[in-house]
Amino acid sequence: MSRPPATEIAAAKINLALHVRGKRPDGRHDLETIFAFCTDGDRLTAELADDLSLTVTGPFAAMLDDGADNLVHRAAAALAAEARVGKGVRITLDKRLPVASGIGGGSADAAAALRLLTSLWGVDPAFAQRIAPSLGSDVPACLLSMTARGEGAGDTLTLVDAGVAGAPILLVNPRLPLSTTAVFAGWDGVDRGALGEWRNGRNDLEAPARDLVPEIGRVLDWLTQCDGADVIRMSGSGATCFALFESEALRDAAAAACPPDWWHLASFLR
């Protein structure tokens, strides 16, 4: 009997707070952030094959290349090389999260591929941990997919209890992609202080993101008016914004009222 395809969720990543402290000699930025993850996201399936291939499906498939430059393909090829795996794999990525939207995207997909193939190929997870930083600053956090404080370039991680497990969350995106590079380039270079308790924090990339996509302001204003919305912020480099809610019912009511031209996802934090 043939083995059924293995599956893995690429959980949507949320930055509960994101403080930019300075610029590093390598061109990246010193960050302090709290990563949290939703119970929902993109979905990967994989089965053993003679060679490595990737097929992208789902509502945002048209925005992605399925070739060797795709982060899922790169992650699979890097793991095969690092672990000296002589097997192929056929991967399908069901792309349900918007692209270039500040909620993990390619990083979450690459991390999910590493977890999935570590299991499918039966290799040591240490190989995936070594590869992750080379694929992107958020990939180590997405590989972990647990609430953590990120420092350095965001890839020095410490597990934390942020008190958000099970919290209802609504993600809203105006369907406008944002370049992470462009948003960081727009940061004014001012260090506004360390990240302490995340609820008292901020997202230092919100201002440059709003300069590039003013619609972010509309999304944040709309979330502020939703009954039961608690913490309301932009995630990562945008343009996705989020609100934590007092109850699942209030979150669902907000989701039902979301403007139809915006993308939204009602989920829970892990």
**Which residues, 6 or more positions from 202, have their beta carbon under 8 angstroms from its beta carbon?**
17, 18, 19, 192, 233
Look at residue 164 and give its three-state secondary structure: coil
Q: Any catalytic annotation for residue 138?
A: yes
Report phi then psi at 132, rounded to 5: -50, -50
To 10 degrees, what angle do helices 106-121 and 125-135 make? 160
Q: Any catalytic annotation for residue 87?
A: no
Q: What share of the chain is helix, strand, coil (3-state, %, to 5)?
A: 30, 30, 35
Choose the catalytic residue: 42, 94, 138, 204: 138
- Residue pair 209/216 in contact (Cβ under 8 Å)? The answer is yes
Choose the catalytic residue: 13, 94, 95, 204: 13
Instruction: Report the distance separating Cα 157 and Cα 34, nearest Å.
Output: 9
Residues designated as active site: 13, 138
